A and B are shown apart, each in its own frame.
Chain A
Amino acid sequence: MSEKPKLAVYWGASCGGCEIAVVNLHEKLLDVDAALDFMFCPCLLDTKKKDIEALPDGAIAVTLFNGALRTEENVEMAHLLRRKSQMLVAFGSCAKGGCIPALANFTTKNELLNTIYIDNPSVDNPGGVIPSGTTSFPEGDIHLPGLLWRVKHLAQEVEVDYYIPGCPPESQQIWNVIETILSGDLPPKGSTIGCGTLTVCDDCDRTKEEKRITSFRRNYEFYPDPKACLLEQGLLCMGIATRNGCGAPCTKANMPCTGCYGAPEGISDQGAKMVAALGSVMDIGDTTGLSEEAIAGRVDAFLKTIPDYAGLFYKYTLASSTLGGKVGR
């Protein structure tokens, strides 16, 4: 048995992108392997749940837990890994703030199941069966973990030591974190690591001017000027209200930041902050002499150029936001 500290990478409700980001360490993986015993990762390795259960508590030095908590199984694994790990890291935006899986919180669990199993043109379900737990069919039983009534992020279920943002976290930042962990020189518990302390604007080298925005445009409508600030060009770039450290790869590729690194240091709600910021630079022209209706009309016309507020502003943080989601089961 290896004497090296054990490293686990686990996934909850996730897309696998975080594992890809780990694999994107390329030859650095050899360094990881040299320093740590990379012993659990369902996407890459054969270790099973029972192997983890067999370990003494605290046997794993570090678990990088990615994905949100959607099912009872996710919750069970979160508790198991918490118990077995000295350090549990919420790895990536799903584990940190719910991310895409948590957008399901805009609807209820029952509506969701209804859409999947009953009211769906590509589904033929004459019995109206919604499988959950153990469900019997003529062909045999199927076992499915139950859905939570709403999607959670990791810290809503277990104590989390550190957070690493990103969808997925940038590979160079993963390496930075691993180096930090190996060095033992860690910031206070609860800190967000593997990122910067400013906003994406600091990583983005586009020219920024004063901002007055008359209306928003969608990406497909035009080719943005590659040098000027995308927000000033009318693209809903979340960079202003997003923690930096990614290196701004999206704006460098002429695409607006969608906010995957979450709220900047000291900001509790990324979506609300974005709304406050945009409200301040919304330019509806001179309203002198206009009636209240006419002014309201201009505001409406401006707001109509923003499609899907919640999905845009809370894409990565809904589970951890003040907004929360739809109330009800």
Chain B
Amino acid sequence: MKIGIYFCNCGSNIAEKISSEAIIAAAKTFPEQPYVTIVDFICSEDGKLQFEESLKLEQPDRVVVAACSPRDHEATFRRCLINAGMNPYLMQMVNIREQIAWVTEDPAVATEKAIGAVRGAVMRVTLQQPLEKKQLEVCPDALVIGAGPAGMKAALSLAEAGRSVVLVERTPFIGGLPVRFEELFPALECAPCMLEPLMGDLLHGDHAGNIELMTMAELVEVTGFYGNFIAKIRQKPRHVSLHECIGCGECVEACPAITMNVFNSNASERKAIDFAFAGVLPNAPFLMEEICLRYKAEECRACKDACPMGEDVVNLEEVETIVERRIGSIILATGAGLYDASQIAGMGMGTLPDVYDALQFERMLSSTGPTGGEIVTTAGNAPSSVAIIHCVGSLDDDHKPYCSGICCQYAFKFNHLITAKLPETTITHYHRELVVPGKEAHTLYKHAVKNKNSCMKRYDGIKDLAVTVDVSGQQQVSAKGDAAPADMVILCPAVIPAEGAGKLSALLDVSRDSFGFFRELHGRMDAAQSTIKGVYLAGACQEPMDTRSAMLEGMAGVGYTLAGLQPGRTLEIEPINAEVDETHCAGCRLCVSVCPYRAISFDTEHNASSINAVLCHGCGTCVAACPAGAITGHHFTNEQIMAEIEGVLK
């Protein structure tokens, strides 16, 4: 076997520490008798040309390049091999610059180390095999789960790029949490107004035809892998045709059945057939089967009869269906919720009438909410004192150890809005740490600090606080026994993943952290990618975040989809991956749970594991784990690794 060693001086970087003459002399003692070519800068245009010409002339069977880190130029030199008509995987790089020349004082020692490393590479490269990249056709379309800010932004942007998008939303409406708020921090923009253009484009814009919006729907099954997922989606019956309903509300008037409206935090009533809240999009009511008289075996068709748009708009016979869609990527944008503040003793949540969590208060502030935007106590009066308690369950090892990041900002927004509506009302912020990062958040903070009606009180732990009612019926907050009246108490609970994240995680095999948020592939480098290839994370399902960050993350998911899955292009499958030798697999299934990419499945018929090459990243974990030695890591076989070690240690 003819082996060529290409030794790069890298100017003086390598040459001043490692003697190329010594490498040439050492190579003469190798049993393989490799030839050695010295190049000054092999990565330069001249160097690459010289390398390629030499390869064409010498026609070696295997090549060793002793130069810099493969992180720098392995791809470069592989291309040179291809240009010279060789298989690129028949080359082995030796990093004699970073790992030897730069970190070794004594040139004699450096040269000795380099000889060992080159000998290892020569012994390894003789065992290397030509490998071929495989191609796979992909579906460029996407499934977006959750139609909040992140999901809407992602869906619309993909649609604008010409991709078909299935947008699945659990609730009957789009817009997520902020569409239910009156104004948003930091600039006090009207939330529904700010979101309206986005929602409008999504529903009726030029690219809306590329978006299949499914409200009242949920994912039930996903099979396949990156580029080729098959998703099954359960469509629950709305009983109102989204295409034909004009949102006039005649059916609502006619409906005789009444319940509490969960989308107004149960602070107002609704009919069995009704809008989620005023101004909701899509502008159509939905029927709650559990409330409707027909589902209590009574005859009623008041809504259907009241509809001025004809017989087909309200469909009382509609049933649940399961639809199947093929997509290439999945963007999870399932959002967040609030920690149940009634879990925290002494806060009065659920026991005292005028204790509200932030979501309930947002609805109270909203002109489409239960009080039409009036700030009133249960008794119907404007509060003369309001307490806002920060960090309820956040930064608290007994509840959620993390900072929820957004609460201080919306608490100061509340301060602003309360004073605007009730200029005489006093406001007390009970806070622990104050978190107002970025270039915009300080405005509301400073406003609150300067507000003559408000004051800040710092507390150490939530156990120091108690919300109580005294003998006279006055609600108050006491901090270490120091009590102050608070007609209304607003709690800022920890931000937690929205309901259903656990189910989705199990369905998709996407892992979650100990707090229940979806786990990112890498917290800094790949925060918008999940651990499963082709499943991206957007918005507060990944960690607590505001609308701005959620929209940006939505765009990150779009970026991954557009970059990775292009129509007509195929997916290149890296040949450095692992493969199971079925004849040696005894079916212990140990590898299945080891794979971080869910690339290994178990074939019960053949009683053997198999690895999906598309999903495999070639990390080698299963190769090391397989106790039967039945898994081979291509390009990193045990024999290759042992040969390299042996060569280095000789």
Contacts and interface: CB of A to CB of B under 8 A. Distances in A.
Interface of A: 197-202, 208-212, 229, 231, 239-241, 244, 264-267, 273-274, 276-277, 279-281, 286-289
Given A198-B628, A208-B589, A280-B594, A266 B584 contact: yes
Contacts of B513: 286, 288-289
Nearest to B401: A289
B626 interface: yes
21 contacts: A201-B586, A202-B587, A202-B607, A208-B587, A208-B588, A209-B589, A210-B592, A211-B589, A231-B588, A241-B628, A264-B627, A266-B584, A266-B629, A279-B625, A280-B590, A280-B622, A280-B625, A281-B590, A281-B593, A281-B625, A288-B514
Contact of B515 (A199, A239, A288): A288
Main secondary structure, interface of B, reads: loop
A240 B626 CA distance: 8
A201 B625 contact: no
Contacts of B627: 199, 240-241, 264, 267, 273-274, 276-277
A88 to B, nearest CB: 27
B585 to A, nearest CB: 8
10 nearest A-B pairs in the assembled complex, by CB-CB distance: A280-B625, A241-B627, A202-B586, A240-B627, A286-B514, A210-B593, A199-B586, A201-B586, A198-B586, A288-B513
Given A265-B629, A289-B402, A280 B586 contact: no
B621 interface: yes
Given A211-B590, A229-B588, A289-B514, 11 more contacts: A197-B583, A199-B628, A208-B588, A210-B589, A210-B592, A240-B586, A264-B628, A266-B584, A276-B625, A276-B627, A289-B401
Contacts of B628: 198-199, 201, 240-241, 264, 267
Contact of B587 (A201, A241, A280): A201
B629 A267 contact: yes
Interface in B621-645: 621-622, 624-629, 638
A52 B515 CA distance: 75
Contacts of B622: 280
A240 B590 contact: yes
B587 A277 contact: no
A202 B587 CA distance: 7
Interface centre among B583, B586, B621, B622, by most chain A C-beta atoms within 10 angstroms, is: B586
Nearest to B583: A197
Nearest to B517: A288
A212 B593 contact: yes
A160 B586 CA distance: 28
Contact of B588 (A199, A265, A267): A199
B588 to A, nearest CB: 4
Nearest to B600: A210
B584 A197 contact: yes
Contacts of A286: 513-514
B506 to A, nearest CB: 13
Contacts of B593: 210-212, 281
Interface of B: 401-402, 513-515, 519, 583-590, 592-594, 607, 621-622, 624-629, 638
A200 B586 CA distance: 8
Contacts of A273: 627, 629
Nearest to A274: B627
Contacts of A208: 587-589
A208 B585 CA distance: 13
B98 to A, nearest CB: 27
Contacts of A197: 583-584
Contacts of A209: 589
A211 B593 CA distance: 6
Nearest to A210: B593
Interface centre among B515, B589, B624, B627, by most chain A C-beta atoms within 10 angstroms, is: B627
B646 to A, nearest CB: 13
A265 B629 CA distance: 8
A289 B403 CA distance: 12
A111 to B, nearest CB: 30
Contacts of A264: 584, 627-629
Contacts of A202: 586-587, 607
Contacts of B590: 211, 240, 277, 280-281
B389 to A, nearest CB: 24
A239 B607 CA distance: 16
Contacts of A288: 513-515, 519
Contacts of B583: 197
Nearest to A287: B514
A241 B587 CA distance: 12
Contacts of A289: 401-402, 513-515
Contacts of B515: 288-289
A240 B628 CA distance: 7
Contacts of A276: 624-625, 627
